[in-house]
Structure 1
């Protein structure tokens, strides 16, 4: 990975004031807002004895700002975004990370969370976080009034702080919290939801390790799962911070931001920061986030207390890869959470063996051969390499027949639907895959060879643009065990409108996705865990769907 070389400048105090909330003598801190600090990916400090002091310089700068310099930025919270260490099994590295973070004790509220390098084996969640919990588990914060608590695993925690006239919760979630590995009850997402449910009126800043990437820009597969499973449906969450990604390389490596709209069409600020590709393990760069309450804006800057320099590239220079940018926010409105009702239950569920439906067709096709009878297997594997000699990928095919037509168990042609979801029960976690609309016919006796060396997403055999991107192009467990919901609304609506033939979907593994994802098939003996197509139909629909919509309305009323 090439090192970043960005324009930097040392700013005079007057220029700093343009971005940061400077507290004047006698001036109310609540009137002026406050700041927080994000510390991403410190693994390349602690894995080198010569670089380790830079980590301590970061935390010491924060402590000095608060204790010696009058706290001009009114720093109220510090969030470490994970990858405290490079090797989760190295006690030497943990000792260095602890020494650096100890500087913040009894100075400011702060959090840490496990990144992929903080597991015993990097990125392998099943190997656990024993060293992380021993050093940064709940016992570390005993007696701290701002510490809210942790889940039973000790990996996920929340903190409270008050600043700028508001009370906040900060939530720190482990690397890929949507992947519940090892299996825990409650899962990380369930635990986080319980904290949100118990604090419906408190705005929340969420930190996690992996969420949005800089290349390709946007959410990762597990970031999308976190968005769908937790963030979009909880209006308390207004900001998400993460590290981990440093994919784009060159001068824009490791920084990206986007503004997304939740289910109430209210903004959520998603911000990536990761400086591990800089010289000396990161050159001390960190993120300063200023909540400028009087001017209804949040200002983000990248600063190195080691170099005493700010990075100066703005949105005008490099767009969303900027180091210095501001986001507008109506604090009074956005920090007053609103209730988002849970999504409605599906009106129709197509699943083999339920209510007489028998139209699901699914199939695993193997490049290694032997797949002629795979339409009768109890599970399907989507894998970049199934373990045979050489690169031997497996693809998955699935289709739901006989869903369109008259009658209570079908959908009238032309009906407008609100949502369609393909639900798969994952039994073996793995890398991930992309989902594409099929353009060629097939049946459960089709083979890899008959389909032309598998299905190609080339706009001839399958649509090139994916319907869904799930997981990541690596060998980690990016998709966890349990229900996997895939939004197929666009495809299903196209079937109903007659503009696309119902040939189903193909699941194509990533080239480097050699950790196969296995899910139960329509032949599995557990009927309720077979693949399902779930349909939600709005109470108003097109004329072509009036009969079906009327039936749905009657059914809904009957439930009350």
Structure 2
């Protein structure tokens, strides 16, 4: 909270700085992180999962009114800390950060009482950090102020036994912490109310010592806000921005209390990347903020940070006993306190921790497991160069199931061209772009032919006659253009077996449909529709609609009886229980990038197709091309 130095006197303490601090000059001094064993924290089933892509950072701002001489109530903070312990595994709460102003008057008794409450975390070795706000120390000084009652209770000695503790400044008022979440190491800086110039040098040295760790900066005073939603850097916050944050690309999120109401802004650092600057403080609300906790739920799979704010102390109260004010404080759902942040984590961290792309894999590394056809499009051609008409794509399985280009009438050579675009887990770092379209709908005046180009297996290829009685696996990498839904491209075929059902002796369902089709519906939902050997009709597996502008690995696995559809290794829902053994055949070619009906190609594919593999047996997910 804002206040002048005259509001209260500073209570000089005689306690010594806690053990475990570095010695020597502040600049560049780091504590050896011998205690940092990266593992699941905790000794029981309340531990966290360091590999889950979803994890939570709990943030507790100014609790000063709960510890205010002979006024206040420590129970709201105690309820919050108990809630964190109880929900640690469920919410994957990997770390808790207090933003300062733990108490109101920096009094020894107040700090001791707050220290007893924090034993709730200490007893379970739940990782956390604290830092001094202006109400916890002599606010007229920097972190070179010397001993204090704050250091006696909340100095680094308190948290140094935690596996997340990294080190601190010699003065004891600044610490850094390391935790593992989403399979990587993260760094959190906990800086004093007024860090000295030497401390800013120290912070830069901490970042330099952990050059690939994304960093969160916590401090008491950085951003201010008003009730219109406007947010800006405070005077001291501008100093931190200019001297530390804007030049440190690792710092992507800053959190502070002190001011109210809550607010946030986005600033661009020297690297041209976003820094989220957030202020959160609830001391002005009912019951001194009711021990409010803000939860930052990171989801790296969704590239999102979900933020919510709640009061566990109020939640603990029986609903019928909550007063009118408490009922409004159970959870804050206004836009300032409940929101989601889209963050492309890979892009945001690319400047200091670029994602190591998987290198191309040699065909020999993926041919096997009963592979009867393997096609890839890395023949060394230039990106965007048209594939010549009649060009042959070799079957790298060695089975002789080669492909040749076919151009639909009236289509240009560029309707089928080489591309360097590819799925990150694709063995070949190349694909083909198919610029196809559908056959015009018949009318009384005209009917336009399908356009584009496609590939077909050569005459006499063994694959043309294969019936796969022992099961099969079909895989492909696919990407749809961003405008695919605006171009009337529904109903496309990724891979199909030429010949209508009737050509294979099938009379059920629609005998004009392809004998086998891996394709997309009008709404871009994945489907696998086939005439099995022993059935007269079609058996179809359905998936969900595929997003445009994104690569997917698609696969269908038949175990000799049932077929199952997968996208990116995930089993889909609409897989029928109807037995579908083998694949019927008319002995004709397989087509890549075309849909046909009644023996007429109705549509050329629109999008990218990468590696395709067909095996004569069911393969487990961990043997897919993307594995």
TM-score with structure 1 length normalisation? 0.49
Q: Tell which has more relative contact order, 1 or 2 (C-alpha 8 A, sep 6+).
A: 1
More helix by share: 1
TM-score by length of 2: 0.44
